[in-house]
Amino acid sequence: MRRCRWRPLSAEAARERDAAGLPYVVEYRIPGREAPLEVRLVSWQVHHVGLWVYDEQGRRVQEVDYRLLDGDRLLTRRTRRWGYAGPGMPEFDEEASRTTVTLHPDGRGRLVREPRGSKGGSTYTTAEVTEEERWMDRPEFGCWPVLSAQVHGLAEPVTVREAAVERRVAGVESEPADRWRAPRPGEAGPLDALFRPGTRMTTPADPEMTVVEPVRRGTLHVPSGLLGIDCPLDGRGPRLTVPVPPGEYPLEEGRITFGYVCMYEERWVDRTDTTAVRLCVSDAPAVSWEMAMAPEDDPRLLGEGEVYCFSTDGATGAFADARAWGPLQERFDRVMADSDADDGVPDAGSIFLVRTREPVSGAELAAFAVCSDGDHPVWVGRSADGDVVGVVVLIDRMPELAAP
């Protein structure tokens, strides 16, 4: 099944789709102007309303991303504006000025100004907005405020000249790359492949890679039945937790081999790297992967490709018993500060750096290296029955499956 070209849709048909929560697209136009004033995508079933405002040259000058929360209120989640130096500057030119405002339901907000686009510096400040600017009630069909009228200084009302909806039909060979749709959160990718020997994978930097046998790195005891995943260096945590049956579980490193030309030695070198770490909860295969989230995380707020993560300033993550995270993390600090590996250190060559154990409960923490500071997602694999079978953290970006 492929998407076909958009077809005009009557206002009544669009109203029916609105009531059913199905997606539809509306264009706002005025006579004598080739470019639309604005285009709005409504998709209540995924809690999203997107909006683009256009200038006379047909360039997009403003984007607004609304999210439907609390049943009948729209959060102005993100607003982006572009400023063009003249009519000849291309849309989204690298030197076009940019302003981005990102808002959260709890009152937080961030304002980013980039006067020279990606060619210059940027400033980050707190976004000062009123509650009226942050929220609006869900409008009834046909009663949307027309933002382009404010942007272009036009007198309202601006009439809807055309409505369109995306239909699915068979036999269409391709679809436009710029098709506008509701944003989709990031996905796990073929995580199982990282632990399946012989699988051929690829990245732009290394087009020919082959998965080799994963390496077992001991076990992790989780007597409380609540697994925690976070950076063990910051004294907090864990931000992310996953319920598992109390027990002791194997730890694995997914490994991949590839070749490259060593510039210093001027010869071909074969190399094997770790791609991911996995806590194996069950031998059952994972039929689905879901993003691990904290209680305060709301998937309705995620933008295109976004995921919730744990953060690290020391390129380090850890699996641990969440109930004993505090004492385990304190022991980790002592090991790191005193080089006192009283709880043992994994084999040489492993990315598992330090392992600590709480002697009374037997709860354990296993810290591992990741490729960089920043945010790292955690993926939870589930069986056909919905049970947790594994928890995976990528060390670097996810390779793609190579073409057969």
- For the chain, 404 residues long, give each residue's pLDDT as a single digit of tens: 334 445 677 888 888 989 999 888 888 888 888 888 889 999 999 999 999 999 999 999 999 999 999 878 999 999 999 999 999 999 999 999 999 999 999 999 999 999 999 988 999 999 999 999 999 999 998 888 888 877 777 655 455 444 444 433 333 333 443 456 788 999 999 999 999 999 999 988 888 889 999 999 999 999 999 999 999 998 788 999 999 999 999 999 999 998 866 666 666 678 889 999 999 999 999 999 999 999 999 999 999 999 999 999 999 999 999 999 999 999 998 888 876 555 555 666 789 989 999 999 999 999 999 999 999 999 999 999 999 999 999 999 899 999 87
| Cα–Cα distance for residue pair 59/89, rounded to 1 Å | 9
Q: Are residues 125 and 212 in the same domain?
A: no
Is position 175 within any domain? Answer: no
Last residue of a domain, one of 169, 199, 216: 169
3-class secondary structure, 221: strand
Q: Are residues 131 and 256 in the same domain?
A: no
Is position 337 within any domain? Answer: yes
Tokens 């790297």, located at residue: 273
User: What type of residue is 93?
Assistant: D
> Hey, what's the torsion of the CAs at 392, 376, 386, 384, to 10 degrees?
-60
Q: Are residues 238 and 288 in the same domain?
A: yes
pLDDT at 139: 92
Last residue of a domain, one of 102, 136, 169: 169
Q: Are residues 124 and 25 in the same domain?
A: yes
The H-assigned helical ranges of 191-322 are: none
pLDDT at 156: 54
b (16+ CB within 10 A) / e for 285-304: ebeebbbbbeeeeeeebbee
Q: Are residues 243 and 199 in the same domain?
A: yes
Contact 350, 270 (CB under 8 A): no
Q: Are residues 76 and 28 in the same domain?
A: yes
Is position 394 within any domain? Answer: yes
Provide the residue range defining the domain that includes 214. 191-401
Is position 181 within any domain? Answer: no
Rg of the chain over all Cα atoms, to the nearest angstrom = 25
Q: Are residues 59 and 200 in the same domain?
A: no
How many structural domains does the chain have? Answer: 2
Q: Are residues 234 and 128 in the same domain?
A: no
Query: Which of 261-270's residues contact partners 24+ apart within 8 Å by CB, and which partners?
Result: none
Is position 174 within any domain? Answer: no
Q: Are residues 147 and 206 in the same domain?
A: no
Q: Are residues 104 and 253 in the same domain?
A: no
Q: Closest Cα partner for 211 from 404, 376, 403, 401?
A: 401
Identify any residues that bridge with 68 across adjacent strands, giving them in sequence order. 74
Q: Are residues 150 and 21 in the same domain?
A: yes
Is position 257 within any domain? Answer: yes
Is position 359 within any domain? Answer: yes
Report the length, in residues, of the chain.
Answer: 404
Q: Are residues 16 and 145 in the same domain?
A: yes
Is position 360 within any domain? Answer: yes
